[in-house]
Amino acid sequence: MATFKYLKSTQEEDVLIVTINHPPANTLSTKLMSELEQLLEEYELNKEVKVMILTGEGAIAFVAGADIREIIKINDKKTGEAMARRGQVILSRLENLDKPVIAAINGVCLGGGNELAMACHIRIASDKARFGQPEINLGIIPGFGGTQRLTRICGAAKACELNLTGDIISSQEALRIGLVNQVVPDSDLMKHSLGMARKIASKSAGSISLILQAMREGMESSTEKGFSKEAELFGEVCETKDMKEGLKAFVEKRQPQFVDE
């Protein structure tokens, strides 16, 4: 992996751990977003890693939001729209990866940080984490997908409430409304995140990729088209070595030894 200024990465077997390191609050500056885009490209192409964990440096924030110092300089529609579209493209690339990303949310997760977390495939939160889309308190609106992903994840009513009030909610409330998958003690966050990452990484890379593709197709189209894509991809997986190994291992009552082929 390349060396970045705002992102630190370590590899533990086939799991990549990426830490956002932009003190004091890990804000999503333009330069950090560019680094994230490059890192996602490298992750996608790296056959040695099957799962990525994304977390924040320090005890305060996962990501506290976009960089206000950059936003305050915007004075025209064209510049503002370009900034929003750029962020949307990068987070959509994350969301559309055929390899999973787990957000290990260690602290405040607000505005752009919540938008980043929602683009990840799985979200595990510390019991100290806090969530929200407080842009309206600044006289602006979410720009990196907050009005869209929050609605799809939590439903229109709750998304409308959070976007229009700017309220910040606890990790337990985030769990209740389906914004996060799990809430764990702060001291156990990385342990639980690594545990899930390793469990997923033990599966066939082909099956992981095809499941993500099938789910994405269903989210973006009709149920009928989603079923059609699922059947097509099920057919593909039936020609893989891992399919044969998985079924054979089941019959023989042993753990499968997948080769990702």
CATH of the domain at 102: 3.90.226.10
Q: Which of 135, 173, 239, 245 is catalytic?
A: 135
**Res. 12: pLDDT tops 90:** yes
42 and 123 inside one domain: yes
Interacting residues of 52 by C-beta distance below 8 A, sequence separation 6+: 15, 16, 17, 18, 43, 99, 100, 101, 102, 197
pLDDT of res. 103: 98
pTM exceeds 0.85:
yes
Residue 103: beta bridge partners? 54, 123
**Number of domains into which the chain is organized:** 2
- 136 belongs to a structural domain: yes
Residues 67 and 160 in one domain: yes
Instruction: Tell me, yes or no, whether 1 lies in a domain.
Output: no
pLDDT at 70: 95
Whole-number pLDDT of residue 219: 86
Tell whether the model's pLDDT for residue 37 goes beyond 90: yes
Among this protein's residues, is 135 annotated catalytic? yes
Domain that holds residue 94: 7-201
Is the per-residue pLDDT at 1 higher than 80?
no
Residue 259 lies in a domain: no
Region 126-134: what's the mean pLDDT?
Answer: 98
Same domain, 173 and 82: yes
> Is the same domain home to 191 and 222?
no
Say if residue 60 is in the same domain as residue 34: yes
Give the per-residue pLDDT at 21.
96
> Do 115 and 212 reside in the same domain of the chain?
no
For the segment 16-29, the average pLDDT, to the nearest whole number, is 96
Residues 177 and 190 grouped into a single domain: yes
pLDDT, tens only, 210-228: 999 999 988 888 899 999 9
Together in a domain, 123 and 45: yes
In a domain, 216, yes or no: yes
Using DSSP's 3-state secondary structure scheme, residue 184 falls into strand
pLDDT confidence tier of residue 119, bands split at 50, 70 and 90: very high
Point out the catalytic residue in the list 12, 44, 48, 115. Answer: 115
In a domain, 256, yes or no: no
Last residue of a domain, one of 160, 183, 201: 201
Backbone angles phi, psi at 41, to 5 degrees: -65, -45
What tens digit of pLDDT does each residue of 79-112 get?
Answer: 999 999 999 999 999 999 999 999 999 999 999 9
Query: Domain check: are 89 and 212 in the same one?
Result: no
What's the mean per-residue pLDDT of the chain? 96
Question: The domain that contains 220 carries what CATH number?
Answer: 1.10.12
Which pLDDT belongs to residue 176? 98
Query: Does 260 reside within a domain?
Result: no
Residue 154 pLDDT: 97
Residues 132, 247 within the same domain: no
Task: Give the residue among 108, 95, 192 at the shortest CA–CA distance from 148.
Answer: 95
- The answer to whether position 2 is within a domain reads no
Q: Answer yes or no: is pLDDT of 252 > 80.
A: yes
**Residue 153 banded pLDDT, cuts 50, 70, 90:** very high
| Tokens describing residue 233 | 């991809």
User: Tokens 């910040």, residue?
Assistant: 168
pLDDT of residue 220: 84
Residues 66 and 151 grouped into a single domain: yes
Q: DSSP 3-state assignment of 212?
A: helix
Note the pLDDT tens digit of each residue in 44-83: 999 999 999 999 998 899 999 999 999 999 999 999 999 9
pLDDT given at position 221: 84
232 and 164 in a common domain: no
Residue 134 has pLDDT above 90, yes or no: yes
